[in-house]
Structure 1
Amino acid sequence: MTVTLGGAGLAPHDHVCVLHRGRRQREELVLPFLSEGLECGEPALFFTPTGESAAVRAALGDPDNLELLEPEDSYVRAGAFEPDQVFEVMDTWARERLCGGDVFGRVVSDMSWAASITSTNLVAEIIAEEQAGNGWCRSYNQVVICLFDLDLFGGDLVVPMIRSHPKTWLSGVVIENPGCV
């Protein structure tokens, strides 16, 4: 099994903070990453930005093993960040798609939805969600990437996200984080 992101190799159970700039770079990373797995029959879950699910599905050829969810269907169902509901969605997907045999999956979470939410607790809530995600990633045979657009987020969110992920992808290099909290 080959898992690559922007030329860098990833391993099963990886949870990677991906720092990129803009929609174009995101698509250059995510579409090949998902296509690589979908072509092998691997299921994929992509939390897309608002309004982009149809374009993503069209770009990937509308495969049956691809599930797309927008923030309103997962992260912010009632207009506020709801991490418990996100994990419920992810866990249900993983139990249905990844259990049994040698099934491998790919999960992509575009975090751009957080740029429009103003909350004093948001960064702390996202850090807690990402830290819980580290354990969840090891529970299933999968790779999980979390996308952070450097055009939308500053150091107040990016630095804590790097610290809360075991690995970070930046400019084609995957960096191990021995200090992951």
Structure 2
Amino acid sequence: MADPLTGTATPFYHSDSLIIATAGSFRHQMFCYPGPRASYAVFVGPSNPLNDAETPLLAPTGTFLSLQRGDLTGAIVALKTIVHILEKGLTPYGPLRRAIIKTDSEIGCGESRIRDWDLWEAILVLLDIVKRLWNVEVLFWWVPAKWNRDAKSLAAEGLKLPPPRSFQDRRERRAEMTSSESLESRY
């Protein structure tokens, strides 16, 4: 963490709190084929097995991919990670009272225009589950991008992966199927 006034590291420790960093990433169709791509990341700590990254997103029918979908999906996965930690009892320093989702996205911190989105409903349901079942307060903390580098770099890795199978470029396969060599070898 850093002191907001000086930007220098500020050591502190609260055994009843957990901070999870999230980020979304997006590449416009102009820069990648076969279209826009988005991904998200959840960063719990260095080399932590609960880190979730390198996950390209698929847009549901009737929606489109955007940086905002990546950011909101990151928040949903962070909430699911909190549920997993609570279910498995992965809190070695005692009970968890507060979970803080750190993001550099104002959308992820609950900007009013997202309330119509399908992902917002999933966030509200998960927030209710965490509060009702485990009495854990969930806070969203907006930070500048430079304070969220770990999650941002993991989300960017998701854009480097090949797109999901349904969107892969099939031109190479078509060329292989129509070449005379491969046709002769088949029959």
For normalisation by structure 1, the TM-score amounts to 0.36
Of structures 1 and 2, the larger Rg is shown by: 2
- Higher RCO (Cα < 8 Å, 6 or more apart): 1
TM-score normalized by structure 2?
A: 0.35
